[in-house]
Amino acid sequence: MTENRDLVAGTPGLKINLPVPLAFCQGCQHGSSARAIWESLEDLELEDRLIWVGGVTCGTVSAFISDVDAIGPVPHGRAPDIASAMKRVLDKDTVIITYQGDGDAVAIGTESLVQAAARAERITVIMVNNANYGTTGGQMAPTTIIGQRTTTSPGGRGSNREGFPINAAELVAGLRGTAYSARGALTSPANYNKTKKYIKKALQKQIDDIGFSFVEILSACPPNWGMAPVECLKWIDNNLVNQYPLGEFKDVDTL
């Protein structure tokens, strides 16, 4: 049976296994984000000169099942600092990416992220946004949207007490050192393809030595959102995107 068929699509080439079993929650899209990154790295032939800096997020599991040099979890929020140092001390053709969650990047990590963008650091930050602190069981994050219930905003986030969510892609786009900032989602094959395109454009800004690059990826977190996985994708398309529109917010070739 195996002789008369050809593989069309399967496990990405850069995915490897660890001696201990590691799995995401049912429907969690960290795996899909990792796939999008792996495919982008392979398309651009970057795997040999890549270092993956994983923040404090469930998604740092992907750092360890990637066949590239990796470090993680680095201190909360600080991945851009670690990545920047590596970029400065290593050969210029080394490509450094960070993979961070929203709770990591725009709460404690705000200094690190904003400063890296302002410095026009030649690194690429990928922030997977599931609008809560997922790893710790679903607490409110700076990206939780108004009305969204979390374990620390059980009545729904209210602007009076909890203020307003932070749009990271737009924030980063507003800094002069940013060469590229975009937001994608993985809620459909079309969105998956667009997100891959954003990731590749971001990496190209680093390769071409233009400036800082940033891709935010909206991602499902079914256990913490309290919805079935497919419902989560619909919630992203119908609710989350209202606060976090998809698209490219900055794309320049000189700073």
Partner 1 sequence: MEDMVFIDGNEAIGWGALAADCDGFFGYPITPQNNITEWFAAEFPKRNKVFVQTSSETASINWLYGGASAGKRVITSTSSPGWSLMQETLSHIGNTEVPCVIVLVQRGGPGQGTTRHGQMDYSSATVGGGHGGYRNIVLAPYSAQEAHDLVQLAFHLADKYRNAVIVLSDGIVGTTMETVELKKLEFEPLPEKDWALKGKGKREDRTRRILTSAQGAVPSLRNPSYLALQKTLSEKHQQIIKEEVRFDTYNLEDSDLVLVAYGYSARVALEAMHQAREMGLKAGMIRPITVWPFPYDPVKLQAKQGKKILVVEDSLGQMLLDVELACGDRTEMELVSCLERHEPMEGGVIFPEVVLEKMKTMIQ
Partner 2 sequence: MVRGDVIIDSDSCLGCGYCVEFCPKESLRISTDSYTSQGILVAEFSDPEPCNACGLCVWMCPHFAIEVYTMREEGGD
What does the binding site for partner 1 look like in residue numbers (CB under 8 A)?
Answer: 18-20, 22, 47-51, 53, 61, 63-64, 66-76, 78, 81-86, 88-91, 94-95, 111-112, 115
Helix (H) or strand (E) holding 205: helix 189-207
SS3 66: strand
Q: Is residue 89 near partner 2 by the rule CB under 8 A?
A: no
Residue 100's closest CA among 216, 201, 244? 216
* DSSP codes joined into one string, 211-241: -EEEEEEE---HHHHTS-HHHHHHHIIIIIH
Site for partner 2 (CB under 8 A): how many residues? 30
Q: Which of 15, 49, 149, 197 binds partner 2 (CB under 8 A)?
A: 15
Q: Is residue 18 near partner 2 by the rule CB under 8 A?
A: no
Q: Which of 45, 154, 189, 242 binds partner 2 (CB under 8 A)?
A: 189
* Pairwise CA distance, residues 221 & 239, whole Å: 14
Span between the terminal Cα atoms of the chain, in Å: 56
Nearer to partner 1 by Cβ, of 33 and 84: the residue is: 84
27 binds, among partner 2, partner 1, none (CB under 5 to 8 A by kind): partner 2
Q: Which spans of this chain sit near partner 2 (rule: CB under 8 A)?
A: 4-12, 15, 23-32, 35, 186, 188-189, 192, 222, 228-230, 233
